């Protein structure tokens, strides 16, 4: 990694992240620091930055606006948001603008190490497209494929680079699932590769296309366009291949081209309320019914009753809604459970259905654990209030755990987690604090005070008092009187 930019208005946090980055196992040539988004934007406009860590709330130009501004840059860094819990919703919103990840304050060294490793691996992977110039071309070409009108000024440059790869030869577009091998493969001759929306897009010279398709080992549904010749046709070629792959994806085919697709009217759109209805049913006893409705959605797409592209868009939105709604409620170590590849990253609809259903049940189980934990905390709060009101009586842990309807062993663990001490120590401290108050404010006999606060024997009271206070009750009273 060549450059890391840290944008944070709090000096201690900014310098802390810089130190953690320097001490990480990732080699970074240069680390730059900025106090606000305006300073960062000036740097981003004048030089290429590999990775940027940015706070959300900053003067002059905040992190949200900074991220939006980076979308207009020719070279956009990989962005990580540094977020406080109060800013979480903003962080989720920023993920929609290309932010790679976020970290919560206080920033932990292990998380910085993990993110830098991940982003460094991504950067090295992108360099297989023969350097920065080719990366810029890949970004421009992806943008052109999505929105041809956006790149009017750069069109000649993109055309020239495209023709460098394809020449004047006829070519095909091929769309497939992203390969899952850990080792990167060398680019094929006569092949331009891109990655978009969880899929790999290739433009293949016709002379190399059949050999590539036979030997590349592409798994799952593969879409192949018709033959094309000019740069102007690359958008049509991509859309043909993408539609063919979508058809193969739902129909369970290994390869599909436009000629293989059944003619006929596309299905209906997904009902507008489908996603919101699923999300509302997710935390209830009706979740499995919602899962069945999702399976039926894929079934309807498979049989032409629903528009395939709209089903994919709805499924992708559903994943983002579920992750965004519930991810913030779990601990940081469990948050990766809420990550799932986009629908078209899977080999076919059958694999996606299986993985989606497993994922939904997994995050529901995680949320149930959170709910159970909250229920336990509420019960322990009730137990603490009960102790504060009844510590003078003959009490033990079995009685109190029964009072709040908790398993004895679970109560013991949960009580210590909540209070920081075990049940016996907590009860003893309550009694001793009350004994100290009575020793200071009354003339009652020491033995009577011991029994009044809940100790069964004088010996137990005297021993407990001295172990906590360091002196006997009599000496404590004498010292209190001298201090008046």
Query: What number is the average pLDDT over the span 437-453?
Result: 94
Check residue 183 and give its pLDDT: 45
Q: Within this chain, do residues 88 and 174 fall inside the same structural domain, yes or no?
A: no
Q: Does some domain include residue 466?
A: no
423, pLDDT greater than 90: yes
DSSP-derived secondary structure for 282-306: TTSTTHHHHHHHHHHHHHHHHTTSB
pLDDT band at 447 (very low <50, low <70, confident <90, very high): very high
253, pLDDT greater than 50: yes
437, pLDDT greater than 70: yes
**pLDDT tens per residue, range 364-397:** 888 888 777 778 888 999 999 999 999 999 999 9
**pLDDT tens per residue, range 193-218:** 888 888 999 898 888 777 777 777 78
* In contact, 257 and 237? CB cutoff 8 Å: no
Q: Within this chain, do residues 404 and 350 fall inside the same structural domain, yes or no?
A: yes
Q: Within this chain, do residues 153 and 88 fall inside the same structural domain, yes or no?
A: no
Q: Does some domain include residue 332?
A: yes
142, pLDDT greater than 50: yes
Q: Could you tell me the residue range of the domain that residue 390 belongs to?
A: 265-420
Q: Which residues contact 128 (CB under 8 A, 6 or more apart)?
A: 184, 186, 187
- Among 215, 241, 260, residue at a domain's last position: 260
181, pLDDT greater than 70: no
Q: Does some domain include residue 469?
A: no
- Among 79, 111, 127, residue at a domain's last position: 127
34, pLDDT greater than 80: yes
Lowest mean pLDDT among 41-45, 325-329, 393-397: 325-329
> 């019960």: which residue's tokens?
379
> 């992750």: which residue's tokens?
323
* In contact, 301 and 352? CB cutoff 8 Å: no
The segment with the largest mean pLDDT, out of 173-182, 320-329, 347-356, 402-411, is 347-356
Q: Which DSSP helix (H) or strand (E) runs through 5?
A: strand 3-7
Q: Within this chain, do residues 195 and 286 fall inside the same structural domain, yes or no?
A: no
Q: Does some domain include residue 461?
A: no
Q: Within this chain, do residues 87 and 135 fall inside the same structural domain, yes or no?
A: no
Q: In terms of C-beta distances under 8 Å and separation of at least 24 residues, what long-range contacts does 363-369 make, across chains too?
A: 363/322, 363/323, 363/326, 363/337, 363/338, 364/282, 364/283, 364/287, 366/330, 366/334, 366/337, 367/283, 367/326, 367/329, 367/330
Check residue 300 and give its pLDDT: 96
CATH number at residue 230: 3.30.70
Q: Within this chain, do residues 211 and 345 fall inside the same structural domain, yes or no?
A: no
Q: Within this chain, do residues 121 and 135 fall inside the same structural domain, yes or no?
A: no
pLDDT band at 75 (very low <50, low <70, confident <90, very high): confident
> In whole angstroms, what is the distance from residue 138 CA to residue 286 CA?
45
Q: Within this chain, do residues 343 and 242 fall inside the same structural domain, yes or no?
A: no
Of 370, 357, 365, 366, nearest in space to 290 by CA? 357
> In whole angstroms, what is the distance from residue 201 CA to residue 190 CA?
14
179, pLDDT greater than 50: yes
* In contact, 223 and 242? CB cutoff 8 Å: yes
Lowest mean pLDDT among 30-34, 80-84, 125-129, 370-374: 125-129
- 258 to 166, 272, 298, 348: CA distances (angstroms): 22, 29, 21, 18
**pLDDT tens per residue, range 105-119:** 889 999 999 999 999
Q: Within this chain, do residues 47 and 102 fall inside the same structural domain, yes or no?
A: yes
Of 17, 18, 76, nearest in space to 49 by CA? 76
CATH number at residue 115: 3.40.50.2300
Q: Which residues contact 227 (CB under 8 A, 6 or more apart)?
A: 170, 171, 172, 206
* In contact, 74 and 50? CB cutoff 8 Å: no
| Strand-pair partners of 30 | 3
**pLDDT tens per residue, range 151-164:** 566 678 788 888 87
- Among 399, 420, 441, residue at a domain's last position: 420
pTM comes to 0.54
Q: Within this chain, do residues 270 and 411 fall inside the same structural domain, yes or no?
A: yes
The segment with the largest mean pLDDT, out of 82-96, 256-270, 368-382, 469-483, is 469-483
Check residue 40 and give its pLDDT: 93
* In contact, 386 and 404? CB cutoff 8 Å: yes
Q: Within this chain, do residues 254 and 397 fall inside the same structural domain, yes or no?
A: no
- Calculate the CA 377 to chain-centre distance: 26
Lowest mean pLDDT among 134-143, 226-235, 443-452: 134-143
Query: What number is the average pLDDT over the span 174-192?
Result: 70
Query: What number is the average pLDDT over the span 278-300?
Result: 93
292, pLDDT greater than 80: yes
264, pLDDT greater than 60: no
Q: Does some domain include residue 470?
A: no
Of 234, 226, 318, 215, nearest in space to 270 by CA? 318
Q: Where are the alpha helices (DSSP H) in 147-286?
A: 155-166, 206-215, 234-251, 274-281
Helix (H, G, I), strand (E, B) or coil at 180: coil
Q: Does some domain include residue 446?
A: no
> 């201690």: which residue's tokens?
12
Q: Within this chain, do residues 113 and 87 fall inside the same structural domain, yes or no?
A: yes
Lowest mean pLDDT among 68-72, 125-129, 299-303, 465-469: 125-129
Q: Does some domain include residue 178?
A: yes
Helix (H, G, I), strand (E, B) or coil at 179: coil
Q: Does some domain include residue 219?
A: yes
484, pLDDT greater than 70: no
Q: Which DSSP helix (H) or strand (E) runs through 424?
A: helix 423-441
The number of C-alpha atoms within 13 Å of 39 and in the hemisphere containing its C-beta is 13
Domain tally for the chain? 3
> In whole angstroms, what is the distance from residue 433 CA to residue 473 CA?
12
Check residue 334 and give its pLDDT: 83
* In contact, 62 and 74? CB cutoff 8 Å: no
Percentage of the chain modeled with pLDDT above 90: 52
Average pLDDT, the chain: 87
Q: Which residues contact 8 (CB under 8 A, 6 or more apart)?
A: 14, 17, 33, 34, 35, 53, 54, 55, 58, 82
């Amino acid at each position: 990694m060549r450059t890391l930019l840290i944008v944070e208005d709090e000096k201690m946090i900014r310098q802390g992240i810089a130190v953690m980055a320097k001490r990480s196992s990732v080699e970074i040539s240069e680390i730059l620091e900025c106090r606000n988004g305006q300073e960062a934007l000036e740097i981003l406009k004048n030089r290429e930055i590999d990775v940027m860590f940015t706070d959300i709330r900053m003067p002059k130009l905040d992190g949200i606006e900074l991220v939006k501004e980076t979308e207009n840059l020719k070279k956009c860094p990989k962005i990580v948001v540094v977020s406080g819990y109060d800013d979480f919703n903003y962080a989720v919103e920023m993920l929609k603008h290309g932010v790679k990840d976020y970290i919560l304050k206080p920033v932990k060294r292990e998380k910085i190490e993990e993110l830098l490793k991940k982003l460094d691996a991504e950067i090295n992977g992108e360099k297989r497209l023969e350097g920065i110039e080719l990366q810029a071309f890949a970004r421009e070409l992806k943008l052109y494929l999505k929105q041809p009108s956006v790149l009017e000024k750069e069109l000649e440059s993109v055309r020239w680079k495209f023709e460098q790869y394809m020449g004047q030869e006829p070519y095909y577009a091929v769309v497939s699932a992203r390969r899952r091998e850990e080792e990167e493969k060398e680019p094929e001759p006569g092949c331009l590769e891109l990655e978009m929306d969880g899929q790999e897009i290739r433009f293949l010279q016709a002379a190399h296309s059949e050999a590539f398709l036979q030997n590349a080992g592409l798994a799952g549904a593969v879409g192949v366009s018709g033959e094309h010749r000019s740069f102007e046709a690359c958008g049509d070629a991509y859309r043909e291949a993408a539609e063919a792959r979508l058809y193969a994806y739902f129909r369970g085919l290994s390869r599909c081209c436009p000629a293989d697709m059944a003619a006929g009217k596309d299905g209906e759109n997904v009902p507008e309320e489908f996603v919101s209805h699923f999300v509302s049913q997710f935390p209830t006893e009706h979740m499995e019914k919602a899962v069945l409705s999702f399976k039926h959605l894929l079934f309807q797409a498979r049989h032409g009753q629903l528009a395939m592209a709209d089903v994919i868009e709805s499924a992708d939105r559903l994943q983002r809604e579920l992750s965004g709604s519930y991810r913030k409620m779990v601990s940081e170590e469990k948050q990766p459970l809420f990550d799932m590849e986009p629908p078209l990253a899977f080999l076919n609809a059958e694999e996606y259905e299986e993985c989606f259903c497993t994922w939904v049940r997994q995050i529901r189980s995680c949320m149930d654990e959170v709910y159970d934990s909250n229920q336990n905390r509420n019960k322990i709060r009730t137990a603490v209030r009960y102790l504060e009101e009844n510590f003078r009586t003959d009490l033990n842990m079995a009685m109190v755990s029964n009072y709040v309807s908790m398993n004895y062993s679970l109560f013991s663990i949960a009580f210590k987690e909540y209070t920081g001490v075990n049940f016996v120590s907590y009860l003893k401290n309550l009694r001793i604090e009350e004994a100290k108050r009575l020793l200071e404010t009354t003339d009652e006999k020491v033995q009577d005070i011991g029994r009044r606060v809940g100790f069964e024997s004088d010996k137990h009271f005297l021993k407990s008092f001295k172990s906590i206070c360091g002196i006997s009750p009599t000496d404590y009273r004498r010292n209190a009187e001298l201090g008046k």
